[in-house]
Amino acid sequence: MDHFLYRSGTLHAEDVALADIARTVGTPFYCYSTATLTRHYQLFTEALSPMPHLVCFAIKSLSNVAVLKTLGNLGAGMDVVSGGEYLRAKAAGVPGERIVFSGVGKTREEMRLVLEGGIRQFNVESEPEMRAISEVATAMGVTAPITIRVNPDVDARTHEKIATGKKENKFGIPIARASEVYAEAARLPGIEVVGIDVHIGSQLTELEPFEQAYLKVADLTRRLRAEGHDIRRLDLGGGLGIPYQRSNEAPPLPVEYGALIKRTVGDLGCEIEIEPGRLISGNSGVLVSGVIYVKNGEGRDFLILDAAMNDLVRPSMYGAWHDIVPVEEPAPAAEKQEYDVVGPVCETGDTFAKARPLPKLAEGDLVAFRSAGAYGAVMASEYNTRPLVPEVLVNGDHYAVIRARPTFDEILARDTIPEWL
């Protein structure tokens, strides 16, 4: 469910017409719905109740501070994977005790930053990282809470670039080696083991891979406790998918995911953490773009938009599908035409869709890419010196620009010409 619906013939974000935003902000732009962000976060908290739990939003999916503030005010924790994301969470007012730090390449500088500012836990990915945290924390005279990420060698059945739980992936330690790694952790100064971490991938559309992984974590919890470790927290990662192509069967619902968690690890008495990103942010956002030209080619027609691969890279990078809809509602029996939907960047890869049936469109018309809130703006760039796409947040009948489109003067001012030129 989302809050992007046609009203009086025009696509709205909650109570605001996207065409009105386009007239003020210009295109392309991202637009997010507060109501959808709120509802999707609440679905997870409801699904895990009454278990003790914390829903940590995966900032990497959508990192605008206004969005983080919206979720943080609801009680959300944050899952960060860099020092910069940590500072975004803090800027949004999220306290350190609700921030977990994931990622395979944490630097000592980042460790010091979060230990100074407060952290719920490090999700440790390797033995060298664990030893580095021990050294940094000991030098600072503090104790760093950690979980250790185990790799359960489970096929998430998702895109190869976002699968993280198989033995050939770079993430975590092999679950078969967990006992020896936890034993080393118990001997190291400056760290305290608080639990286990696992995350098998993103955009999962079935529950069975989660069940396989969580059953392994449950067995590991019992074994580690028998070996003397105080395992009181389970970080189960994120990854639940969303229906990008709405004509396809929908992925499992959060309530079904929550029931699976209760069934597999609910008897362990652990606090549960999950780290959803895409399911909270994905359908909470759209990318709105204008048609520059309709070009008639040989055997195909091109819809050339003012959005490009630098604004939304998922189709180019992953071959991803996004539903594309006109902002002005077509008549129910409107004739459709197949278009290759492309951007203006000078690469053939700047293609959003091929032979996509759409209502007939003309120069100046607006279209919206649905389910664009996750991994959209966060992965955008200024390739071809195209200004970074702005972001807009809607709340009821109000909206605000939460990241402005930079001017060309601002872009050029960031470059410095050396004195010898």
Tally the C-alpha atoms within 13 A of residue 63's C-alpha that lie toward its C-beta: 20
**What's the pLDDT band for 242 if we cut at 50, 70, 90?**
confident
End-of-domain residue from the set 274, 299, 327: 274
End-of-domain residue from the set 213, 239, 274: 274
Instruction: Report the chain's mean pLDDT, rounded to a whole number.
Output: 93
Query: What's the Rg (C-alpha) of the chain?
Result: 23
Task: Looking at the structure, tell me whether residues 207 and 345 fall in a common domain.
Answer: no
By the 10 Å C-beta count (0-12 exposed, 13-18 middle, 19+ buried), 415 is classed as: exposed
Among 376, 372, 266, 387, which residue's Cα sits nearest to residue 322?
372
Which of 49-63, 194-208, 300-314 bottoms out in mean pLDDT, i.e. has the lowest? 194-208
Query: Are the C-beta atoms of 387 and 298 separated by less than 8 Å?
Result: no
Digit-coded pLDDT (tens) for 146-178: 999 999 887 655 445 444 444 455 568 999 999
pLDDT at position 190:
98
Residues tagged active-site = 346
Q: Is residue 398 domain-resident? A: yes
**Mean of pLDDT values over 207-217:** 92
Task: Looking at the structure, tell me whether residues 221 and 288 fall in a common domain.
Answer: no
Query: Are the C-beta atoms of 60 and 421 separated by less than 8 Å?
Result: no
pLDDT at position 241:
87
Task: Looking at the structure, tell me whether residues 269 and 309 fall in a common domain.
Answer: no
- Alpha-carbon distance 162 to 164, whole Å? 6
Which of the two residues, 244 and 382, has the higher pLDDT score?
A: 382
- Residues contacting residue 205 through CB under 8 Å, at least 6 positions apart: 157, 158, 241, 251, 252
Q: Is residue 269 domain-resident? A: yes
**Mean of pLDDT values over 188-205:** 92
Q: Is residue 83 domain-resident? A: no
Q: Is residue 50 domain-resident? A: no
- Alpha-carbon distance 385 to 55, whole Å? 38
Three-state SS at 147: strand
- Residues contacting residue 128 through CB under 8 Å, at least 6 positions apart: none
In this structure, the number of other CB atoms found within 10 A of the CB of residue 317 comes to 14
Which of 158-162, 253-257, 374-378 bottoms out in mean pLDDT, i.e. has the lowest? 158-162
- Residues contacting residue 419 through CB under 8 Å, at least 6 positions apart: none
Among 185, 271, 280, which residue's Cα sits nearest to residue 236?
271
> Please, what's the largest Cα pairwise distance for the chain?
71
Task: Looking at the structure, tell me whether residues 266 and 155 fall in a common domain.
Answer: yes
The domain spanning residue 342 has which CATH number? 2.40.37.10
Domain count, the chain: 2
Task: Looking at the structure, tell me whether residues 253 and 347 fall in a common domain.
Answer: no
Q: Report whether pLDDT(246) > 80.
A: no
Task: Looking at the structure, tell me whether residues 300 and 408 fall in a common domain.
Answer: yes
Among 133, 109, 233, 121, which residue's Cα sits nearest to residue 185?
133
Task: Looking at the structure, tell me whether residues 145 and 111 fall in a common domain.
Answer: yes
Triad 33, 34, 36: Cα angle to 5°: 65
**What's the pLDDT band for 11 if we cut at 50, 70, 90?**
very high
Among 168, 257, 158, 176, which residue's Cα sits nearest to residue 214?
257
Task: Looking at the structure, tell me whether residues 158 and 137 fall in a common domain.
Answer: yes
Task: Looking at the structure, tell me whether residues 14 and 153 fall in a common domain.
Answer: no
Q: Is residue 96 domain-resident? A: no
End-of-domain residue from the set 220, 240, 274: 274
Task: Looking at the structure, tell me whether residues 265 and 192 fall in a common domain.
Answer: yes
Q: Is residue 37 domain-resident? A: no
Q: Which domain holds residue 401?
A: 4-31+282-413
Q: Is residue 59 domain-resident? A: no
Q: Report whether pLDDT(143) > 90.
A: yes
- Alpha-carbon distance 154 to 412, whole Å? 47
**Mean of pLDDT values over 298-308:** 94
- Alpha-carbon distance 211 to 195, whole Å? 19
The domain spanning residue 134 has which CATH number? 3.20.20.10
pLDDT at position 347:
93
Task: Looking at the structure, tell me whether residues 267 and 325 fall in a common domain.
Answer: no
Quick one: residue 153, left, alpha or beta (phi over 0 = left, psi -120 to 50 = alpha)? Answer: left
211, two tokens: 């069940």
| E strands in 198-270 | 233-235
16, two tokens: 């605001």
Task: Looking at the structure, tell me whether residues 288 and 359 fall in a common domain.
Answer: yes
Q: Report whether pLDDT(231) > 60.
A: yes
Q: Is residue 47 domain-resident? A: no
